[in-house]
């Protein structure tokens, strides 16, 4: 693929997911009104291979920060079976270039993570494009299956 074509594909993808991010915040993603900073241990990461361009990881919070993973009367998790009591962290495609340490994020690593605290109530257990379509008409968060997350992440610092 030519460099020009790659550039257009990247700009299209960036624009598309920026619009989806904005719309998710209008329908099922709840901004919890605070920028937070937490410390924990990485349990899982997608290594930056995600359909929407986000670099994502799940962080098992240190006990002093467990409050950040509590909403609607329960502890939440993006993957409660494999990674219970973890907070989901997402670095958006338009912010990825500002992070130099992404390749070093691995399970077992301790991190200090900062960003916007939110509750992702968009997901309904279907393919992502179906979830986006559902969000177009649902206009409310899925509080039963949703989870707390830091999205967008604005700082990642390795500890130790």
155 φ, ψ (degrees, to nearest 5): -150, 135
The CA distance from 25 to 17, in Å, is 12
Burial 92-116 (b: 16+ CB within 10 A, else e): bbeeeeeeeeeeebeeebebebbbb
Q: Whole-model pTM?
A: 0.79
The residue ranges of every structural domain in the chain are 3-158
| Reported confidence tier of residue 16, pLDDT bands at 50, 70, 90 | low
Cα–Cα distance, 83 to 159 (Å, whole number): 21
> Can you tell me which residue has the tokens 């098992």?
60
Q: Tell me which CATH code domain 3-158 carries.
A: 2.40.50.140
The band of 70, judged by pLDDT with boundaries at 50, 70 and 90, is very high
Question: What is the arithmetic mean of pLDDT over 47-52?
Answer: 79
* pLDDT value of position 109: 96
pLDDT digits (tens, 9 = 90+) for 117-154: 999 887 767 776 777 677 666 667 778 888 999 999 99
């Amino acid at each position: 693929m030519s460099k020009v074509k790659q550039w257009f594909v990247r700009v299209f993808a960036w624009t598309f997911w920026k619009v989806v991010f904005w719309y998710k915040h209008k329908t099922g993603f709840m901004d919890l009104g605070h920028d937070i900073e937490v410390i924990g241990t990485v349990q899982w990461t997608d290594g930056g291979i995600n359909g929407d361009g986000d670099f994502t990881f799940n962080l098992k919070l240190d006990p002093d920060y467990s409050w950040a993973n509590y909403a609607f009367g329960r502890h939440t998790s993006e993957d409660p079976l494999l990674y219970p009591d973890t907070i989901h962290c997402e670095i958006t495609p338009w912010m990825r270039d500002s992070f130099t340490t992404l390749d070093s994020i691995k399970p077992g690593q301790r991190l200090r993570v900062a960003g916007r605290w939110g509750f992702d109530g968009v997901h309904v257990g279907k393919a992502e494009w179906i979830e986006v379509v559902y969000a177009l008409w649902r206009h409310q968060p899925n509080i039963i299956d949703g989870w707390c997350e830091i999205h967008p992440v604005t700082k990642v610092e390795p500890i130790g």
